[in-house]
Amino acid sequence: MTKAEFLDQLAGDERLGSKKAASDAVDAVLEAITGALSNGEEVAFTGFGKFHVAERGPRQGVNPRTGERITIPGGKVPRFSAGSALKTKVKGG
């Protein structure tokens, strides 16, 4: 599902009413999550899941053009861990 399809689905909900309101709500949520993660915070939605920042260590890679072995530096990456209610819904429970 693309963001546009997602917004169309949300716009049909009477709590939001319009595609513009749905778009504003989704953008606000994504900006808040992004801001919290960039500050090193976690964002947890009980039953749905948790967004957090993980530290990835350096690793070995291969340059596809030359075949030369290189070291890829580590860094911070965003992660999502699904909550139990979400896992149950996806499994069909």
- Please write the tens of the pLDDT for every residue from 49-85: 999 999 999 999 999 999 999 999 999 999 999 999 9
Neighbours of 16 (CB within 10 A): 17
| CATH of the domain spanning 42-93, picked from 3.40.449.10, 4.10.520.10, 3.40.50.1010, 2.40.50.100 | 4.10.520.10
pLDDT at residue 17 in the model? 80
Task: Give this prediction's pTM.
Answer: 0.78
Give the helix ranges, DSSP H, for the chain: 3-11, 19-38, 84-91
Query: Cα 29–30–35 angle (5° rounding)?
Result: 100
Distance CA 71, CA 80 (A): 26
pLDDT tier at 90, thresholds 50, 70, 90: very high
4-49 pLDDT per residue, tens: 999 989 888 888 888 999 999 999 999 999 999 999 999 999 999 9
pLDDT at residue 14 in the model? 84
pLDDT at residue 49 in the model? 97
Distance CA 46, CA 51 (A): 11
